[in-house]
Structure 1
């Protein structure tokens, strides 16, 4: 098990945010391992709680892009786990719900595991009421 530097974690989450906002989903997906496990522990029906693999993540992003537009992320606060390739990121997002037209404001805590420079597991904790 390798460790992860604060700089590596910071760079990865910055690429994550930049590519997502630019809607460069091909480059965004490239941040993840083929067998990525992406989890949403607080998701409510009909939203998925777990995605497995890049194809499932891509399909999810395409659907999400039709209902939600995120226009900015706040600067993340990053905590790197000691002796493990895992980091925690706290950040906010602003945007618009494309269905209702209402503003979207969200706070996130993400637990991210990295292997060989790619994200292998991403746990996305967010407020489902937002």
Structure 2
């Protein structure tokens, strides 16, 4: 019987895949019926259900990504639930179009069962990413039109 990956191992594989830009591989880290919530997303969906939905989302990100990410200050905290970890880290972000380099903070609360992510609550600094792309005027306009 193959050894099941721990929540810590799964998170590390996820983070390594994101920073390496291997978005086509990421959906395989999630359970078929996974639920991912991007709690602080200012626009667009904040909840994604199912591996196939995430596969489509990761394909969109790969096709339109204008940033390079490097992770730093990674801290993974165990909880009293062996399926759940809390990961904190920073992205050093380089925006290819604006040339700006900046930092964005992140927290993820992951539930991993049988080596797959079954639930993730993601707290990313979307405002830093928007400002780094000079996208603040577009964000304000979009929010005013909601």
Of structures 1 and 2, the larger Rg is shown by 2
CA contact (8 A) 2:27 2:58 kept: no
More helix by share: 2
Q: Per the alignment, do residues 101 and 35 of structure 1 end up closer, same or farther by CA in structure 2, a change over 3 Å counting?
A: farther
2:94 is paired with a residue whose SS is strand
Q: Per the alignment, do residues 104 and 51 of structure 1 end up closer, same or farther by CA in structure 2, a change over 3 Å counting?
A: farther
Moved more, 21-30 or 102-111: 21-30
**Aligned equivalent of 1:52, options 30, 37, 49:** 49
Query: Structure 1 length as normaliser, TM-score?
Result: 0.81
| Residue correspondences, number | 123
Q: Give unmatched runs, 5+ long, in structure 1.
A: 1-6
Query: Structure 2 length as normaliser, TM-score?
Result: 0.73
- Root mean square deviation, CA, Å: 2.1
Moved more, 19-28 or 53-62: 19-28
CA distance in 2, matches of 1:103, 1:8: 33
Q: Give unmatched runs, 5+ long, in structure 2.
A: 129-146
